[in-house]
A and B are shown apart, each in its own frame.
Chain A
């Protein structure tokens, strides 16, 4: 069974930093593309970032709203995905979901339960 467990969320002041982690199990982590998607309170879904697999050089993609501030990374030896978030803004307040992409990498097959990040003074 695929499991994705996020951690690292919490309250942070504007301009601060936070690192989210996602522990993956139940599948061959290093074969898969992985993503982060977020959802602001009461709002819709917003894709944040993608990490491709080793076969694709661990290349990354970012939404314009986070490019230059957020960094997605992974440790295949630990079956873990990360999101380093710097220069946080109030509009980054959201539940952040860790996601395993589906075959062909064109959809989001499995989602974690999410971790809440609140940016506020």
Chain B
């Protein structure tokens, strides 16, 4: 199975900070990576797919980059509604796997 390692697992930041979350794959996955945001008690929401394509309706302050084994999710200016947990997910091969999550909290 392909393992996805997210770092950091916890991040404390202030409004308007630039935030970067990293996801590393245990083997190359091309660009078959997606990012999701989950708020407490809610279902995850797709932010980015194919490593860098912004899902329709997602604010342009979110961006993704990378290919192969290293990927990043960047929030250019953290907003109050962005405090949540973020997950990466690979769909290069079965089983589909997720990273362990990065919780972004208010400093």
Residues of A within 8 A of B (CB): 35, 44-47, 50, 61, 63-64, 97, 102, 104-114
8 A-B pairs with the lowest CB-CB distances in the bound complex, closest first: A47-B96, A111-B43, A107-B34, A107-B49, A106-B91, A45-B98, A63-B95, A44-B101
Q: Name 19 interchain pairs, CB-CB below 8 A, sorted by A.
A: A35-B96, A44-B98, A44-B101, A45-B36, A45-B101, A47-B95, A47-B97, A47-B98, A50-B96, A64-B95, A102-B49, A105-B91, A107-B34, A107-B49, A108-B34, A109-B49, A109-B55, A112-B43, A113-B42
Partner among B42, B43, B91, B95 whose Cβ is within 8 Å of the Cβ of A107:
B91
Interface hub of B45, B49, B97 (most chain A Cβ within 10 A): B49
- Chain A, Cβ-Cβ closest to B91: A106
Are B100 and A44 in contact, with the CB atoms below 8 A? yes
| A111 to B43 Cα, complex, angstroms | 6
Write out the residue numbers on chain B whose beta carbons fall within 8 Å of the beta carbon of A47.
Answer: 95-98
Residue of B nearest to A114 (CB): B43
Closest chain-A Cβ to B11's Cβ sits at a distance in Å of 16
- Decide if A113 touches B50 in the complex (CB within 8 Å): no
Chain B: interface residue total (CB-CB under 8 A): 22
B19 interface contact, C-beta 8 A:
no
Task: Say yes or no: A107 contacts B46, CB within 8 Å.
Answer: yes
